[in-house]
Structure 1
Amino acid sequence: MADAAQTPEVLASEPAQAYVEEGHGGAPVHAEPELLGYAPFQWVSVAMAVLLLIAFVYAKVHRSLAGGLDARIAAIRENLDEAKALRAEAEALREEYAGKIADAEKDAEAMLDNARREADSIVAKAEDDTTAMIARRERMAQDKIASAERQAVAELRAKAADASTAAAARLIRQNHTEAADRALADEAIASI
């Protein structure tokens, strides 16, 4: 009865004890309920398989799942295509602006070169104009000096002529008499 004390109470009943005593070997095994040879967990698996089969075949769930997946794939492809188009557009804009920057740099360089040339030409023209103005002013100064010299010489000659005339008149008055004047006048009349 030591074995009977260790077995659960369900198995320790009298018919079970008699079964063990008759020598059928060991404790009796509890039999699981079955239907058509399938255990309950197998019936659950079969029921699930039938349910899924019905859902896929008759309810066309697989088409809606596939359609959902296809729509999702199409949306992802559309997003990828849109991203590719946006990337191409961004690349084109980047190249366009890189070209504009290069053109702007060339234009700035050209403007700087043009400004340098204009500045050099203005400086050269200013130097030429200054040289010409200095030469004109020198000529004008020389002309004024020459004019002043001529005027001074003319004034000096006029003064010299006046002085010589005055001196000659004085000498003639002092040295000429009335008789000498008459002889000169007669000589002048005779020559006419």
Structure 2
Amino acid sequence: MDNTFWTFAGLLLFFALVIYLKAPSMVAKNLDARAVRIRKEIEEARELKEEAKQQLAEYQRRRREAEEEARDIVAAAKREAEAMLAEARQRNEDYVERRTAMAEAKIAQAENDAIAEVRASAVNLAIEASARIIADRNSAGRSGQFIDTSIEEVRRRLN
């Protein structure tokens, strides 16, 4: 009986003890439990990954909507500004047209007043000239009545 025999006997005893204590099944159970735990963690990681993808998609959708809303707001503000500018231009043009029309009306009235004044002056001068001519022609006795009639007739025709 040498050392090899005792080593072989110790090995057999070790295997018998391991089998008696059910070490392979405990190792298998531990490995199975660990595999189950790893599978659960992998599944949780997949679920978290899917949830993260969904949240990312939701945030991207919200961002696009916010950008679109911002573009709409900017476009509406531009349209409103353009409308206000067009309205201001139209009011300015209307104001200029009214002021021009008023100025033209005042000029036309001044022209009419000047023409009327010139006519009145011409009528007065014509009356005076007619009165002198008639007075010079009719220096005889009945000239007063003839002069008055002639002056009235000239006034009536010129006015």
Q: TM-score range by the shorter chain?
A: 0.5 to 0.7
Q: Deviations over 1:9-60 (max 9, x none)?
A: xxxxxxxxxxxxxxxxxxxxxxxxx1xxxx4323323323323322333x23
Residue 84 of structure 1 and its aligned partner are, at CA, apart by: 0.7
Q: Which residue number in structure 2 is paired with residue 41 of structure 1?
A: 4
Q: Which residue number in structure 2 is paired with residue 62 of structure 1?
A: 24
Q: How far apart are the structure 2 equivalents of 1:153 and 1:97?
A: 82
Q: How far apart are the structure 2 equivalents of 1:154 and 1:115?
A: 57
Q: Deviations over 1:64-100 (max 9, x none)?
A: 3222222221221121111111111111122122222
The answer to whether structure 1 residue 98 and structure 2 residue 60 are counterparts is yes
Q: Which residue number in structure 2 is paired with residue 190 of structure 1?
A: none
Q: How far apart are the structure 2 equivalents of 1:142 and 1:156?
A: 21
The answer to whether structure 1 residue 77 and structure 2 residue 39 are counterparts is yes
Q: Which residue number in structure 1 is paired with residue 104 of structure 2?
A: 142
Name the CA shift for 1:144/1:43 in 2 (closer, same or farther; >3 Å): same
Q: Which has the higher contact order (CA 8 A, sep 6+)?
A: 2
The answer to whether structure 1 residue 50 and structure 2 residue 50 are counterparts is no
The structure in which a higher percent of residues are helix is 2
Q: How far apart are the structure 2 equivalents of 1:148 and 1:42?
A: 147
Residue 119 of structure 1 and its aligned partner are, at CA, apart by: 3.0
Sequence identity percentage: 31
Residue 138 of structure 1 and its aligned partner are, at CA, apart by: 0.8
Q: Which residue number in structure 1 is paired with residue 91 of structure 2?
A: 129
Aligned-CA RMSD value: 3.7
- State the secondary structure of the residue aligned to 1:118: helix
* Greater C-alpha Rg: 1
- State the secondary structure of the residue aligned to 1:133: helix
So what's the TM-score if we normalise by structure 1? 0.54
Q: How far apart are the structure 2 equivalents of 1:61 and 1:135?
A: 108
The answer to whether structure 1 residue 113 and structure 2 residue 55 are counterparts is no
So what's the TM-score if we normalise by structure 2? 0.63
